[in-house]
Structure 1
Amino acid sequence: MSDTSLTIENILAPELTLCRAPASSKKRVLEFIAEQVNQQDASLSDTQIFNNLISRERLGSTGIGQGIAIPHCRLEGLERVVGVLLTLEEGVGFDAIDNQPVDLVFALIVPKEATSEHLELLSQLAEKFNDRGFCNQLRQCTDAQSLYSRMLNSNS
């Protein structure tokens, strides 16, 4: 698969787009992401995903500011990139660079080998989330379907 074909459309499934998810802490958000991925694909260990996400956070928070976090990790044995988009019921502390609570989360779980694709996706996401109007639109969604289509149809 060439780097150019890896887009948000290709990695985000409607089943992994969740609106107003309940989460009381950063740890709980990461657990929730791992559980959701495991529900969609039982061959992927939620414990391992959670541990890998936590390890990555220990290197530095993935809270990029303005209420947004892009937690990500690599996973042994993964064949494709998995994206998870969440809006949270209420903001949680994420040790973000601006210390703002996070309520918009896009998680990326990538194969152990995927490096350039991984970075390319992170920059695509960061660019999208840099658009404050777009982020506000995502936050206003009240159901997963509208959240999913809004994420995909943002041609910013």
Structure 2
Amino acid sequence: MEISQLITPERVQCLGGIKSKKRALESLSQLLASGVIGVDPTDIFHQLIERERLGSTGLGHGVALPHGRFSPSQDDSDDAQFDLGMTPKMTLGCFIKLDQGVDFDSPDAKPADLLFGLLVPEHCTDEHLQVLAALAQMFSDTEFCEQLRNTKTNEELYTMLSSWKQSHQEAS
């Protein structure tokens, strides 16, 4: 799966002033719910909190992948995905680059400043694992993470994230 299938430009942001894991999860919840019908940011927040209680989603090296699940609507129309005004039937993603890292209980005890939020339909267990594996691979690229940290605008972040697979394959 391409990262560009998970995120939209509106769901990628550089944010300042976030000083706690709770506030970071609230911001991710708002972004994941933005522009979709039937997805409540409060429900997403509770999903992310519950997942964190099972174990930290901090990967280390300043990266965290908070994720949760949702129940898609019963609408079977093919055009209901995650576009503006639609109830999602597929995985949603968002990304926040923080100006200062927050404690995510990462294995290396380093604060996380690169946060990729993920919301996956309950029935998509294999897809969930595949997306998490792809994100873990992307964020294990230390040079790429440094480039993200040095990026100043939402647009640049979106471009870098959505083109990662292509640029990574070209460099291999």
Distance in structure 2 (CA, Å) of the matches to 1:103 and 1:40: 25
Query: Do 1:53 and 1:71's aligned partners in 2 also have CA atoms closer than 8 Å?
Result: yes
Query: Do 2:58 and 2:104's aligned partners in 1 also have CA atoms closer than 8 Å?
Result: yes
User: Relative to structure 2, which stretch is displaced further, 61-70 or 31-40?
Assistant: 31-40
Aligned length: 151
Among all aligned residue pairs of Structure 1 and Structure 2, give the percentage whose two residues are the same amino acid: 39
Equivalent position of 2:82 in the other structure: none
For the pair 1:51 / 2:71, whether they are aligned, the reply is no
Query: Do 1:87 and 1:105's aligned partners in 2 also have CA atoms closer than 8 Å?
Result: yes
Within 5 Å, give how 1:143-154 maps onto structure 2. 143-154=153-164
Q: 3-state DSSP class of the match of 1:89?
A: strand
Which of residues 97, 102, 105 is equivalent to 2:107?
97
C-alpha distance after superposition, 1:85-125 (max 9, x if no partner): 11012110111111100000111100011111111111111
Amino acid at match of 1:141: T
Q: 3-state DSSP class of the match of 2:11?
A: strand
Distance in structure 2 (CA, Å) of the matches to 1:64 and 1:83: 17
C-alpha distance after superposition, 1:65-91 (max 9, x if no partner): 000000101012251110011101211
Amino acid at match of 1:118: H
Alpha carbons of 1:41 and 1:21: their partners in 2 closer, same or farther (altered >3 Å)? Answer: farther
Equivalent position of 1:142 in the other structure: 152
Distance in structure 2 (CA, Å) of the matches to 1:143 and 1:136: 14
For the pair 1:28 / 2:23, whether they are aligned, the reply is yes
Instruction: Give the drift of 1:51.
Output: 0.3
TM-score normalised according to structure 1 size: 0.92
Amino acid at match of 1:145: E
Equivalent position of 1:3 in the other structure: none
Cα RMSD, aligned residues only: 1.2
Query: Do 1:21 and 1:86's aligned partners in 2 also have CA atoms closer than 8 Å?
Result: no
Distance in structure 1 (CA, Å) of the matches to 2:143 and 2:160: 12
Name the one with the larger strand percent: 1
Which of residues 135, 151, 171 is equivalent to 1:125?
135
Query: Do 1:7 and 1:121's aligned partners in 2 also have CA atoms closer than 8 Å?
Result: no
Query: Do 2:4 and 2:163's aligned partners in 1 also have CA atoms closer than 8 Å?
Result: no
Pair member with larger Rg: 2
Distance in structure 1 (CA, Å) of the matches to 2:40 and 2:138: 29
